[in-house]
Amino acid sequence: MIEYPEIDRYAALDSLLHRFDPRAKIIAFLFLIFSVVLIPDLKIAFIGFFFAIFLLILSGIPLAFVLGYLKWVAMFVLSFFVILAFTFPGEELFNFYFLSITAEGLYTGSLITLRAFSAVILIFPMIGTMRFDTTIKALDRLKVPNSLVQMLMFTYRYIFVFVDEFQRIWTAMESKGFKLRTTLYALRTIGKALGMLFVRSYERAERVYQAMRSRGYTGNPKTMVEFEIHVKDYILAVFIVGFAISLHVISFLGVV
């Protein structure tokens, strides 16, 4: 069984971050993510990393759930780390045969790895603490271009249908004795299955569009949602944004 990509699985928990106004949350966290990604100093990157972990713990989202996603990020980032460590010019630490690890490479690699992990971890307390449709509605209220909002909205809705459809095609193939191998025959069959998936998606898109027009769609669907911002939201937002700024202030002043 293929699993649904459900980043908002823990949206129904209750925490300070779950109660945070969606619009303020998005702005504050985006600010923090940008700030973390731009940190120039390894020690400060550690502070940022621990702050990200702190917010994740605050959100109450189970660590195991986050690790499930992080392992994919890790595969990507760590390969980057290795390449950097070996190729960055600078003072040599070790060398095997013609490869050598430099201190600068190690430093830059660690910095980039840490920044990437912090940024990805921060995504969870940001959008994992509300239903994804709330995120979309908040983006809409934040005046994100409507076409982008619609794209997110329909992608979110139909990714599940798509997964189901793929599952059905796959089951049908397996029940006819298909086994995944690297033979030309298997590849051709997979190609056909993907083609079928593509055609079905295209047909579905047409029918969905018909259904939308049948209910008065003319280009920009409106949604109804009540967001209320309170003093506590401002405080929380100021706290997060303030932290994001101070990361750079202390790095600039060279305090750490």
Give the residue with the Cβ less far from another protein, 104 or 133.
Answer: 133
Give the residue with the Cβ less far from another protein, 180 or 205.
Answer: 205
Give the residue with the Cβ less far from another protein, 176 or 207.
Answer: 207
Tell me the sheet residues that pair with 94: 101
Residue 143 CB-half CA count within 13 A = 0
Output the smallest distance, CB 157 to another protein, in A: 6
Q: Which residue in 26, 25, 49 sits closest to 37, CA to CA?
A: 49
Output the smallest distance, CB 4 to another protein, in A: 7
SS3 content of the chain, % helix, strand, coil (to 5): 70, 5, 25
The string of DSSP codes covering 120-161 is HHHHHHHHTTS-HHHHHHHHHHTT--HHHHHHHHHHHHHHHH
Give the residue with the Cβ less far from another protein, 83 or 205.
Answer: 205
Secondary structure of residue 14 in the 3-state scheme: coil
* Binding positions for another protein, rule: CB under 8 A: 4, 131-133, 136, 153-154, 156-158, 160-161, 164, 204, 207-208, 210-218, 221-224
CA terminus-to-terminus distance, the chain = 49
Give the residue with the Cβ less far from another protein, 19 or 248.
Answer: 19
**Residues near 173 by beta carbon (within 8 Å), at least 6 away in sequence:** 189, 193
- Cα(84)–Cα(105) distance, integer angstroms: 5
Output the smallest distance, CB 60 to another protein, in A: 20
Output the smallest distance, CB 220 to another protein, in A: 10
Output the smallest distance, CB 3 to another protein, in A: 12
Contact 118, 86 (CB under 8 A): no
Output the smallest distance, CB 88 to another protein, in A: 45
Give the residue with the Cβ less far from another protein, 86 or 154.
Answer: 154
